[in-house]
């Protein structure tokens, strides 16, 4: 299976997007120093799905897109897949706690496993793991750094019906 990669500049610095011919498999934040030119191996010819992902991400950053329509593929356990599917149901501009996520999975005792699965999400923004916060309402844990989580949440609030700032 051939993997195609493209890098885009965004308000959150560089984003690396990878896909197969038919599915988006990774959307990860990269710091500029970690993507130096010799290491930055982009695919010259990219599949249409990768172009579509870039288009939809740009719409998101412009405040024009609230939900993504992309074929996604991410390897993980059945439990992780279930968590990632639940994340897709968190509305744009809203948050839930890790405890609420565990309850939506049917067992509040799965809170740590749910948090772990949330942290293993490789399809940032599109699978909105940034919308999960601590039970006390504070921002906790985000693989893309907390400043990005704060930016994403405020961006969504600024482009939703609610116009107040979270953090």
- Could you give phi then psi for residue 123, rounded to 5 degrees? -115, 60
Catalytic residue, chosen from 27, 49, 101, 129, is 129
Q: Is 129 a catalytic residue?
A: yes
- Could you give phi then psi for residue 72, rounded to 5 degrees? -110, 150
Three-class SS of 57-100 = HHHHHCCCCCCCCCCECCCCCHHHHHHHHHHCCCCCCCCEEHHH
Q: Could you give the residue numbers annotated as active site? A: 129
């Amino acid at each position: 299976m051939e993997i195609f990669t493209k890098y885009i500049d965004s308000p959150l610095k560089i984003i690396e997007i990878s896909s197969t011919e038919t599915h988006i498999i990774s959307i990860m934040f990269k710091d500029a120093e970690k993507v130096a030119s010799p290491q930055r191996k982009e695919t010259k010819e990219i599949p249409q799905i990768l172009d579509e992902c870039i288009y939809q991400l740009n719409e998101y950053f412009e405040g024009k897109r609230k939900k993504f329509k992309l074929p996604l593929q991410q390897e993980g356990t059945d439990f992780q897949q279930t968590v990632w599917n639940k994340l897709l149901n968190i509305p744009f501009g809203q948050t839930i706690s890790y405890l609420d996520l565990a309850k939506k999975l049917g067992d509040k005792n799965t809170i740590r496993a749910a948090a772990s699965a949330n942290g293993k999400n490789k399809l940032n923004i599109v699978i909105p793991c940034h919308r999960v916060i601590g039970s006390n309402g504070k921002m906790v844990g985000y693989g893309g750094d907390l400043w990005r989580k704060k930016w994403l949440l405020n961006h969504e609030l600024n482009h939703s019906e609610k116009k107040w700032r979270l953090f």
